[in-house]
Homo-oligomer: A and B are copies of this chain.
């Protein structure tokens, strides 16, 4: 691979957009050639247009970049990483796809479309093939692939390992989600300091649906959903990064906590998804301590791409209880989209 592929970041000034910029710094395959923002920020330098909220400093090369409008001509790239709000993404992402750009989107706008895959390279890299259906049906030269909601991401990786080993029947999921998932300014400090908000608008529906699509099977250009049921409660807590999910699962073939631990530890990504720049190492880490995983201590395992599982134990109602942790703006957002793009390059869909 001689030259790096030119990429753009749509909606680069928000908190997920910032994470894209940070993670694409010195990326071996991709070079950020443009970035976009809302109308009133167009024309400003990125360092002025953006209230940077990450602990890692803004890369030097990004500081002076001029915020562009979100259209294919202005951005001039082969891949568009989208951190657009969903209602904006609905209109703009197809413009890029039509113009031959591959949109790797963090927005939820197209996740439910039958011909748009929700991709986790560790889980369902084969689903990217449905892009062909997309192109045929919609007359696009590029395409749209999405990554899941930030809460669905980590728990789906864990569920995949259990599904492969034992089959799944029923899943209870209760999340304790970090503030960065709500963007910036997002959650008001008066609402969350010393408090819990027991709802995140629209989140429970996503957590109950998206894993079933990712864990479903692609046949004849259509994805059939996995045939188990998820019940979800979602909560916001005063954590900066890292979503915790308490999971109880009923398996088709019951297993002990030890067997599940072994299956989770042994899980590896399909061959095509290994060895990419963003591949998690390991895909899943199982911890034995009685009080882990914790967001502050464990979210950066595998550079924020690893799914961390702990507290495997019997469940008196279903089969097993466990706690799953995943970095919501890395594995669950920008890092996931970048990993998806790497997969598409490896698969030859982007070149």
Contacts and interface: CB of A to CB of B under 8 A. Distances in A.
Interface string A144-181: 00000000000000000000000000111010100110
A49 to B, nearest CB: 14
Contact of A316 (B185, B191, B194, B208): B208
A64 to B, nearest CB: 16
Given A172-B248, A198-B292, A317-B229, A192 B193 contact: yes
B192 A316 contact: no
A246 B231 contact: no
Contacts of A238: 189, 193-194, 237-238
Interface in A222-269: 229-231, 233, 235, 237-240, 244, 246, 248
Given A190-B185, A311-B199, A318 B235 contact: no
B290 A201 contact: yes
A296 interface: yes
Interface string A272-297: 00000000000000000011111111
Contact of A239 (B179, B194, B310, B311): B194
| Total copies of this chain within the assembly | 4
A294 to B, nearest CB: 6
- Among A55, A187, A198, A295, residue most surrounded by chain B Cβ atoms (within 10 Å): A198
A1 interface: no
A315 interface: yes
Interface residues of A, number: 62
Given A55-B300, A174-B233, A193-B238, A198 B323 contact: yes
- Among A176, A190, A194, A316, residue most surrounded by chain B Cβ atoms (within 10 Å): A190
Interface string A47-73: 000001111110000000000000000
Contact of A199 (B170, B176, B290): B290
A240 B193 contact: yes
A2 interface: no
Contacts of A244: 196, 198, 235
A295 B195 contact: yes
Contacts of A321: 231, 233
A233 B249 CA distance: 13
Nearest to A250: B317
A186 interface: yes
Interface in A184-216: 184-199, 201, 208
A255 to B, nearest CB: 17
18 contacts: A55-B300, A174-B174, A174-B246, A176-B237, A184-B188, A188-B189, A189-B238, A193-B193, A194-B240, A194-B295, A198-B244, A198-B292, A198-B294, A229-B316, A230-B316, A231-B315, A231-B318, A233-B246
